[in-house]
Structure formats: structure tokens, C-alpha cells
Amino acid sequence: MLELAKEILAGEEAWVVGGAIRDEFLCRPVLDLDIVCRDPRAAGRVYAARAGGAPFQLSERHGAWRVALEDGRTVDFTPLRDGIRSDLATRDFTVNAIAAPLAGGDWFDPFGGGKDLRARLVRAVSGTVFKDDALRLLRAVRIEDELGFRIDGSTERLILSHRLLVAEPAGERIVGELLRLSRRGFFRLDELGLLDPLGGSLDRLDGLPADASPELVVVAVFGEALERLPISNEFRRLARTVLNAREPEDLSPRSIHRFRRTTEPFALEAVEFLGCDPALRDAVLRARREQPREPLVRGDELGLPSGPEIGRLLDRVEEERAAGTISTREEALDLARRESRQ
């Protein structure tokens, strides 16, 4: 990514800034490159054409452009207006406020980010960082959590004094940060007073297994409050399913079938949410393995007009099949005829 940028911006003032420098110092993969230059639009378009990426305006207000590459990496071009120091002064934390000349050379580090990298500290660039963008309240915790850093004392006090701003950013941005937190990160949010303003609670978190998905962890922390956030349709289905899940009466094939009917395709997530009973998990996995590939009968074979009655009868057939009381097409049709006359 870097070599192509050097070719395109050769002879111009341009700087690599932000997370790319931090991640390279920490020997982490650099997936996103942020370059400050005089004409972001032109640089982005040329870069996209050469790299086979898709350019789009990232921020009309700030004049930033992004090139999305096919492998998922991104290259951002942002405008260099009042010099590199002024640009770095607007950034969030000192470890993200380091610049390196694109053409090569020593770091420009006016806020001591290199020292904080070595000390593994998250420190605010200025006292206004959270007023300027309240999402940084969550980002501070996420960086601490993700990198194994710690928030320094003065920044922690700044977070505490601005904690009520945490719900102000757009919901999409909030969800994006939450999904990157580990379980430890949510305890840190609570410690800093950031969880309650978002409607979260730790009450249901301890019951989840250690390897629970990020989505399930967020559901456990926020519960019904997730309905207020702009999550994806799939995420919303998961949340509603596990929040409404109830443990089966027993582990009989009939009870497991009923449990799966109301929870699939999230039955295992529901088991984890309900306390991760190993016997229930094994029963669900066994039912999945043994589930027949084809139904005994189809709706158009029942000889009934279209409507919800067909769905009810097919559900009854599949439940009895799972329970072992029927096993053939003829038995299924006979059951459907009896049920339809009731």
C-alpha cells in the first residue's frame, strides 16, 4: 500500500499518520493506511485506478477520501491544511498523533506519542478530545482493551467528567466500537461510568462462555436496549431470538424439537445465553446431525387451501417425526387429516 502512495505523491508534502504508525511499531498487521496530503480527492482517485480499488468521499465536511481495496484493506487521504502539527493536534490520543514523512524519514511526534507507545499508555492529545467527538470515550476503552494498554490517570479523569456524552454519537459508530470490545472491555466501560448511559448492564455477562461471539456478548450486556441501536437485521434476529428463548422442559426429542423451532438458526447461541448447559448443547447438536434432509410431506400434498393452517399441520408432522411417533409419508398424511378435522 505504501509504495504505491509514494509513487503517486512523489515530490509532494505528504505524511503517514495515525494507527498505521502505531500498529507498525507494535508489530501488528497494518490494514488501514491514513495519508495526509494537499489534494485528497485527486490522490484517492489515482490510487484507486492504479490499485483496482473503489474511491469514495469519506467526509464532505473534512474533505477526506477513502479507497477500499478488494482484500478489505483501506487507504484514507485527508487534507493537509494548516501544517502537520495542526493536523495532529486534532487527533484523539497521542499514540495516534504521530506522523512520518511518506517519502521516508524520522517521526514527527509533537505530543509524545512514541513515549506513550513504549509505556503502553492511552493519553488524550488535549482536554477537548471528548467534546470534539464523544465516540472517543468508547475508543479509549477499546484501544486499551485491544492493545493491552492502560488509560493514563489524567485521561481517565477526563473520561469520567465527560461520561454522559457517550450516547451522543451516531448509533452505527457506537455499535462498531462495542463489537470490538472483549468481555474485559465491558467491565472497564462500567468502571468508567460509560455503560449505564448507554443502557447496558453486566448482570447477564458472567453466565456466557468465554468464547461467546462479540454479538452475543453485546446482547447480554444491552438486552432489550439494543432495539434503540441501528444493528443489522441478522444481529436483530439473534438478539430477539436469544432474549425470548426459554429452556426446554426436558431433553426429550420432542422438547428439543420445540426449542429448536423457536431458536434456530441461533439455537446454540440461545443455549449459551441461557447458561450453557452441556447436556442441552449436546442434545441440540445431536438433533441437528440427525435432522432429515427432506420433509415427509409438503404443503401442496395436504389438499388444503393456502393459509396458516398448512404451516401448523406441517409443524405438527415434523414434531411427531422428531418425537419418533411417525416415520412415513402415509403416517404423516394420516396425522394431517386427523388434525385438520379437529
Q: Which of 22-31, 64-73, 183-192 ranks highest by mean pLDDT?
A: 183-192
d(CA 11, CA 4): 14
Cβ 204 vs Cβ 258: under 8 Å: no
* The pLDDT value given to residue 299: 82
Compute CA distances 42 → 2, 32, 57, 70, whole Å.
17, 19, 11, 20
Question: Tens digit of pLDDT for each residue in 67-109?
Answer: 998 888 899 999 998 899 999 999 999 999 999 999 989 999 9
Which residues on adjacent β-strands are paired with residue 36? Answer: 15, 78
Q: Does domain 1-113 have CATH number 3.30.460.10?
A: yes
Q: Which residue has the cell 493536523?
A: 87
Q: Is the per-residue pLDDT at 61 higher than 80?
A: no
* The pLDDT value given to residue 341: 63
DSSP 124: B
Q: Is the per-residue pLDDT at 59 higher than 80?
A: no
Q: Is the per-residue pLDDT at 58 higher than 90?
A: no
| Residues 6+ away with beta carbon under 8 Å from 63 | 40, 41, 78, 79
d(CA 81, CA 185): 36
Cβ 299 vs Cβ 314: under 8 Å: yes
Average pLDDT over residues 325-340: 87
**If one looks up domain 120-198 in CATH, what number appears?**
1.10.110.30
Length of the chain: 342
Q: How confident is the model at residue 310 (pLDDT cuts 50, 70, 90)?
A: confident
Q: Which residue has the cell 451516531?
A: 170
ω into residue 292 within 30 of 0, thus cis?
no
Q: Is the per-residue pLDDT at 207 higher than 70?
A: yes
Q: Is the per-residue pLDDT at 53 higher than 70?
A: yes
Q: Going edge to edge, which strands form the sheet with 54-59?
A: 54-59, 64-68, 74-79, 32-37, 15-17, 99-101
Question: Tens digit of pLDDT for each residue in 241-279?
Answer: 999 999 999 999 999 999 999 999 999 999 999 998 999
Average pLDDT over residues 205-234: 92
Three-state DSSP state, 26 = coil
Q: Is the per-residue pLDDT at 340 higher than 80?
A: no
Three-state DSSP state, 177 = helix
For the entire predicted model, the pTM comes to 0.85
Cβ 24 vs Cβ 117: under 8 Å: no
Cβ 108 vs Cβ 98: under 8 Å: yes
